[in-house]
Amino acid sequence: MSDRRRFVKFSLLSGAAVLAGKNLFAKTDKGDRKYDVVKDQPIVISTWDFGKVANAAAWTVLKKGGRAVDAVEEGVKVPEADPKNQSVGLGGRPDRDGRVTLDACIMDENYKCGSVAALEHVVHAISVARLVMEKTPHVMLVGDGATQFALENGFKKENLLTPKSEEEWKEWLKTSKYEPKKNIENMMPGGKDNHDTIGMVAMDKNGNMGGACTTSGMAYKMHGRVGDSPIIGAGLYVDNEIGAATSTGVGEEVIRIVGSHLVVELMRQGLEPEDACKRAVERIIARNPEKAKEVQVGFLALNKNGAYGAYALQKGFSYAVKNGNVEDVFFAKYFYDDGK
Ligand code: ASP
């Protein structure tokens, strides 16, 4: 971690406050937080270091005054198409049977959402999720049905298993040890991470929000396993009155607490984004303290003031921010320091 990042980690909240300008919160008659929307201050935030290039793609839409939902779709397509990114889209690590199966979801400012799970042979899972949202009466398509829907709608059938991911999978087969643990863990050949996901949330010029989340899921998962990433409310939630949140890490722990929805509801109760993410992390710990020490989960949130924050179970969760003032990657605060 660079010194700059270390510094930013501790000064993030104040930065977000400066961005937000003044306190624009007011109570509704139901006691919920209500926001006066900050306009003309688009912002996009996303998980992990590779979020930076994805944010840049999203920004090309936001800076032209485009919709947040269009921006996040454009943004997450970048890691989906990158064969070097082994946790999303093309080149994603396969399941234990050697099949690359993708999970993704998207949500707009009108509570419209679409999702695909266990999608195969199609690079841009997020665009298939978008089409489920736009063109079907459903929210979620899975497995063969999702793949069939994509191919019928003109998506190209491709082999997503790159030689590198195939080689690593074959190496993994020698021991077949499957223990989804922390993001920095000596589980993969060469001691690499076995998971990551891009979750991205944005607010556009008009103060409308959108979010997208896409992943190849946990490496070497059971065939058919679905994580949090395509589950609306778990891996992603967007509430245009309040804010948006997304997650990464061991999806099972996120699903158990319906994590992203929880973060948004905590913001509705008045918490700042980072505090809301922290409370969700603490909920995971409270539900299963032993497990929580061993796994990584990170949350990321953006509220209608344009304030943002993140929090993780373990050290090492980074996230990327782009707005009119900031374009950088930060480390989130975390609960455990290497499990100690
Ligand atoms: N959340 C993803 C899943 O459980 C993986 C990750 O973010 O690392 O499939």
Amino acid at 328: D
Band of residue 180 on the pLDDT scale cut at 50, 70, 90: low
Judge whether 149 and 141 are in contact, CB under 8 Å.
Answer: yes
Band of residue 337 on the pLDDT scale cut at 50, 70, 90: confident
- Top mutation candidate among 96, 102, 250 for ligand 1, by most atoms within 8 Å of CB: 250
Q: Is 14 domain-assigned? A: no
pLDDT (tens digit per residue) in 29-78:
444 555 656 667 899 999 999 999 999 999 999 999 999 999 999 999 99
Which ligand 1 atom is nearest residue 251's CA?
Answer: 4
Q: Is 93 domain-assigned? A: yes
Which residue has a Cα nearest atom 4 of ligand 1? Answer: 251
What CATH number did the domain enclosing 121 receive? Answer: 3.60.20.30
Q: Is 77 domain-assigned? A: yes
Q: Is 240 domain-assigned? A: yes
Please state, in angstroms and rounded to a whole number, the distance separating the CA atoms of residues 266 and 32: 10
**Domains identified in the chain, total number:** 1
Q: Is 338 domain-assigned? A: no
Please state, in angstroms and rounded to a whole number, the distance separating the CA atoms of residues 298 and 333: 10
Mean pLDDT of 268-289: 97
Please state, in angstroms and rounded to a whole number, the distance separating the CA atoms of residues 259 and 88: 21
Q: What are phi and psi of 303, to 5 degrees?
A: -105, 180
Whether residue 228 has its Cβ less than 6 Å from ligand 1: yes
CA 298 to ligand 1 centroid distance, Å: 10
Q: Is 301 domain-assigned? A: yes
What range defines the domain where residue 140 resides?
Answer: 35-325
Judge whether 65 and 208 are in contact, CB under 8 Å.
Answer: no
Which ligand 1 atom is nearest residue 183's CA?
Answer: 8
Band of residue 216 on the pLDDT scale cut at 50, 70, 90: very high
Whether residue 199 has its Cβ less than 6 Å from ligand 1: no
Band of residue 193 on the pLDDT scale cut at 50, 70, 90: low
Q: Is 72 domain-assigned? A: yes
Residue 230 is predicted with a pLDDT of 98
Mean pLDDT of 84-109: 96
Residues identified as active-site: 197
312 has pLDDT over 50: yes
Q: Is 3 domain-assigned? A: no
